[in-house]
Structure 1
Amino acid sequence: MNRNRWVKILGVAGAAGVVATGALIARDERARRAYTPDEVRERLQRRAIAGTGEAPEPDDAGR
């Protein structure tokens, strides 16, 4: 194969990689946005409890 052909193959492979990466990022973003703010807060509090072994203090906003 000549050099020009290799450059074209690498270009197509690179473009396919960019498209695949974009699709994965979009899927992860949709999954992340599927949570309500209350669900996110609950998940973060559960992580904090699991990480420290103690309950987080309630915030001043009364939420």
Structure 2
Amino acid sequence: MRLWKLLGVAGLAGVAAGSVVLARNERQRRAYAPDDVRARLHERVAAIEIPATPAPATPAELTAGRTHRLARLFRRG
């Protein structure tokens, strides 16, 4: 019975600690002015690198998987 009480107290302490962390993060988030948030978002978007579009596949690359599958089917039969 004592173990269950200890686990219950530890659970309550964990919930309290989690609540404290969430409350602190919420206060920090609300401390930003709308202009600050907008500026930070613009900085993040500017930092993202957009990958170049890949070159189209050649006909040999497109059929490579198909021939492998066909060869497997013919081996079975």
Taking structure 1 as the reference length, the TM-score comes to 0.76
Kindly, what percent of the aligned residue pairs are identical? Answer: 54
* Alpha-carbon distance in 2 for matches of 1:35, 1:52: 26
Structure 2 equivalent of residue 12 of structure 1: 9
Q: How does 1:24-43 map to 2 (within 5 A)?
A: 24-43=21-40
The two structures, once aligned, show a CA RMSD in angstroms of: 1.1
SS in 2 for 1:40: helix
Match of 1:23 among 9, 17, 20: 20
Ranges of 4+ aligned residues in structure 1 off by more than 6 Å: none
Unaligned runs of 5+ residues in structure 1 are: 54-63
| Residue identity in the other structure for 2:15 | V
| Residue identity in the other structure for 1:40 | V
| Residue identity in the other structure for 1:29 | E
* Alpha-carbon distance in 1 for matches of 2:34, 2:49: 22
Structure having the larger proportion of residues in helix: 2
